[in-house]
Chain A
Amino acid sequence: MNQKIDHMKYWPEMEVLEESRIMDEVLQAMESYDYSRYTAADVKYALRKENRGLEEFKALLSPAAGAFLEEMAQLAKKETQKHFGNSVCLFTPLYISNYCENYCIYCGFNCHNKIRRARLDEAQIEKEMQAIAATGLEEILILTGESRAKSDVEYIGEACKIAQKYFKMVGIEVYPMNSQDYAYLHQCGADYVTVFQETYNSDKYETLHLAGHKRVFPYRFNAQERALKGGMRGVAFAALLGLDDFRKDAFATGMHAYLLQRKYPHAEISFSCPRLRPIVNNADINPKDVHEKELLQVMCAYRLFMPFAGMTISTRERSGFRDNVIGLAATKISAGVSTGIGSHADDSAEQGDDQFEIADGRNVEEMVAAIKQRGLQPVMNDYVFL
């Protein structure tokens, strides 16, 4: 095993953004973030302040803010209403391949996990997309495992072109690539790039990502910036909460997004808030100290720090939690989700195993009803490809 590969060193084919200081700034700030220093007074100040900066964000993520969760939630709801009104956007992820070259010990797709592997061909992708479009959805997120050999950029590009026929908005959540690859996928119809950094603690990262491209921490970190350079409209950020110190990881996620938005003011920014979930062959994986209360605190802190940012709530969470956070902090919710390969079309059985277990299996119709029941407006599309 190539465990000795330096995880902070780029591989030859990886594009380096020489001028970008964002990673260094984030890592430095995260290192010095001591959340135990923040008191109730700091939290109250952060709640009162109108334009909240990094210091306020730190206070809101601190243990001291746990006692102010109700106030945070009420303020978060106001901010969400101001910026997004009653709208709640719907989408679904489509996994087109689960081959992976990485060895990430917490992920069901990791290359040493003995699962059923599958890769949809173009006809199968089209069939799956037709089935999804028939449910009324107009936004799709295309996902692959991280295998450049089994799902190269051209393959993902073809999937985006097919998606453009059936959907108004096409996002991708695939392995990090160079800006020219992002530019190509943008031409193919993709306009939104999601990359989870998993953890911003590079030492911890190194112990979790044992092999593959993903082992290279800085290349993953700078993926969003390369995506914006490639012409993508928006980028999404996330730490997988529960892998490491979730407060520090949430802080780094927010600061990463904050610095990128300052550098690229036109970029649309959004957050995802995933927690660890059990996987095939390892039911014991759990989000450790990130309970629902902590997850909600993180979501409210993101909202109060960057009120204009989108926020997606994952099917990793139970329906009761998801229903309560839409309109409060989350602005986008998935419906009709399968994290396996090839299970949307009626007549096709799932061919590849799931990435993780989902906790909310509601279909689009049920999700639409749930949103309406809360007095919110389900929105299938809020986007035009330019």
Chain B
Amino acid sequence: MKHDKLVIGGHEFHSRFILGSGKYNVELIKAAVEQAGAEIITLALRRANSSGEGNILDHIPQGVTLLPNTSGARNAEEAVRIARLARELGCGDFVKIEVIHDSKYLLPDNYETIKATEVLAKEGFVVLPYMYPDLNAARDLANAGASAIMPLAAPIGSNKGLCTRDFIQILVDELDLPIIVDAGIGRPSQACEAMEMGVDAIMANTAIATAGDIPAMAEAFRKAIEAGRAAYLAGLGRIVEKGGEASSPLTGFLQE
């Protein structure tokens, strides 16, 4: 585990927990870094685009990698504009692409996301696209230059867990890029389960932001993510059916 690193666009991270910051809360940022060991924090540029004490940028600790997102973008062109603005504001080269033109469920538009990824990757951004877990779209994103793929587990803020489990598994199995589950993770156990599946990292926000004890929940997520990762690396054993089963029920006769 010690040498187990998450590599995104050539940058190495030890933590596999990424904090989303949509549900803005200063206490949450502190807890995520101190208790959950977060090394990457996303921030909505539209929220950072502020002055005075409302500026979230002032609350990001040193040494943490900023992952500005393009929330507010309704198409590829707007996402590209927000990403460039983030770079101008000194947020670095990482960008999480969010293209949403559905105000009810906030589901991402894969097609526009692919277009934005292509443009921004060419401009040298480390592009992490938020997407609906579709294998074809994920391959297109990889070909367009994405540095990781961020499929959603469930609608943002829903805390519903791994609704798209089987489709995320396909991405884990078929793509060479890091897969970071983003949106919908409501409990540490769900984060653990995703990590066991071979997902590379978890992004969460609402689950911690709305917990009764924010630092305690942040720590619980860290432990769950580490446990899931350890289990994945250890190799999960098969699940024995109730009552046990013969070791070779159909081919045992070959030994007779």
Contacts and interface: CB of A to CB of B under 8 A. Distances in A.
Interface of A: 81-87, 136, 138, 168, 261, 265-269, 306, 308, 377-384, 386
Interface residues of B, number: 36
Interface string B185-210: 00000000000000000000110011
Given A82-B206, A383-B72, A384-B45, A265 B54 contact: no
A379 B22 CA distance: 12
18 contacts: A82-B158, A82-B159, A82-B210, A83-B157, A85-B24, A85-B206, A265-B101, A265-B102, A265-B103, A266-B102, A308-B106, A377-B26, A379-B50, A380-B51, A381-B54, A383-B49, A384-B85, A386-B78
B85 to A, nearest CB: 7
A18 to B, nearest CB: 25
A306 B105 CA distance: 11
B104 A168 contact: no
A381 B49 contact: yes
Contacts of A306: 104
A266 B74 contact: yes
B163 to A, nearest CB: 13
Contact of B209 (A86, A269, A381, A384): A86
Given A85-B206, A380-B54, A386-B72, A168 B103 contact: no
A379 B24 contact: yes
Nearest to B186: A82
Contacts of A136: 52-54
A269 B106 CA distance: 13
B25 A261 contact: no
B23 A386 contact: no
Contacts of A83: 157
Contacts of A87: 23-24
Contacts of B85: 384
A139 to B, nearest CB: 10
Contacts of B25: 85-86, 377
Nearest to A79: B157
A247 to B, nearest CB: 24
B30 interface: no
Nearest to A267: B103
Majority SS at the chain A contact face: loop
Given A265-B102, A379-B50, A382-B46, 18 more contacts: A81-B210, A82-B210, A85-B22, A85-B210, A136-B54, A138-B51, A138-B54, A265-B101, A265-B103, A266-B74, A266-B101, A308-B105, A377-B25, A378-B54, A382-B44, A383-B46, A384-B82, A386-B74
Contact of A384 (B49, B101, B102, B206): B49
A306 B103 CA distance: 10
B98 to A, nearest CB: 12
B81 interface: yes
B49 A265 contact: no
Greatest chain A CB density within 10 A among B102, B103, B159 is at B103
Contacts of B50: 138, 168, 379-381
Contacts of B54: 136, 138, 378-381
Interface in B136-180: 157-159
A86 B74 contact: no
Contacts of B105: 308
A382 B82 CA distance: 13
A20 B216 CA distance: 52
Interface in B102-152: 102-106
A265 B74 CA distance: 11
Contacts of A265: 101-104
B84 to A, nearest CB: 12
Greatest chain A CB density within 10 A among B25, B50, B54, B105 is at B54
Contacts of A85: 22-25, 205-206, 209-210
B73 interface: yes
A365 B78 CA distance: 34
Nearest to B100: A266
Contacts of B223: none
Interface in B32-86: 44-47, 49-54, 72-74, 78, 81-82, 85
Greatest chain B CB density within 10 A among A81, A382, A383 is at A382
A378 B47 CA distance: 12
A373 B209 CA distance: 17
A85 B49 CA distance: 19
A266 B103 contact: yes
Nearest to B157: A82
Contacts of A81: 23, 206, 210
A384 B91 CA distance: 16
B215 to A, nearest CB: 15
B47 A379 contact: yes
A383 B45 CA distance: 8
A261 B23 contact: no
B244 to A, nearest CB: 40
What are the 6 A-B residue pairs with the smallest beta carbon separation, nearest first? Answer: A85-B23, A266-B101, A380-B54, A384-B46, A381-B50, A82-B157
A377 B26 CA distance: 8
A118 to B, nearest CB: 31
